[in-house]
Amino acid sequence: MECLYLVTGNENKYKEASEILSEYGIKLCMANIDKLEIQSPRLEDIALFAARIAFFQLKKPLIVDDSGLFINSLKGFPGPYSSYVYKTIGYEGILKLMSDKDNRRACFKTVAVLVYPPIEKIFVGETCGYITNSPRGSGGFGFDPIFVPEGYNQTYAEMGIEEKNTISHRGKAFRKLGLWLAKNLPGFKGNNPGSNITI
């Protein structure tokens, strides 16, 4: 296979995923087609449904991923609605909702679904940390300026893409996907340089 498609219109997401999968000799291409999403409290259900529909449109092996920011003191909100919440109130709105919260713990989660008929496989990555009191950094995208992963002092937005990819939720999910492809499918036999990264 010459190219595996990531269904997204987000250039930043594509760049991160492409860099990770290139470690395994996998060429990723971007398919900017509309994703049909269902309402569900589970990212797995949302991503799997979208991936199946996207395959019917594209007719090529592809990946659909869905991510969510789950904040403890907000009972898991925005969770699977993170993309919509970001578009409507942004991270500024999240910071306002948390203005009186002492518990600032949160987890980012990514679910990446590979559809390569007859194979459908789900890969999950999660990184926990805390929500800052104010935005920091100019890199990344989405809620990156307000999320600090455990064991670090920088927000995602203050990190370079290489550092973020080694610890991020998306990095973990796509590294699992890359490892699985390299091991199980012909044409995906990279040198496996990412195998020393904890997933």
For the annotated catalytic residues, the residue numbers are 66
Tokens of 82: 């993170």
Rounded Cα–Cα distance for residues 91 and 128 (Å) = 17
Instruction: Please give the sequence-ordered ranges of beta strands (E in DSSP) within the chain, or none if there are none.
Output: 4-7, 28-31, 62-71, 78-79, 105-116, 119-131, 147-149
| Tally of CB atoms within 10 A around 153 | 8
Only one residue has tokens 């012909």, namely 186
Closest to 67 measured CA to CA, from 84, 53, 75, 79:
79
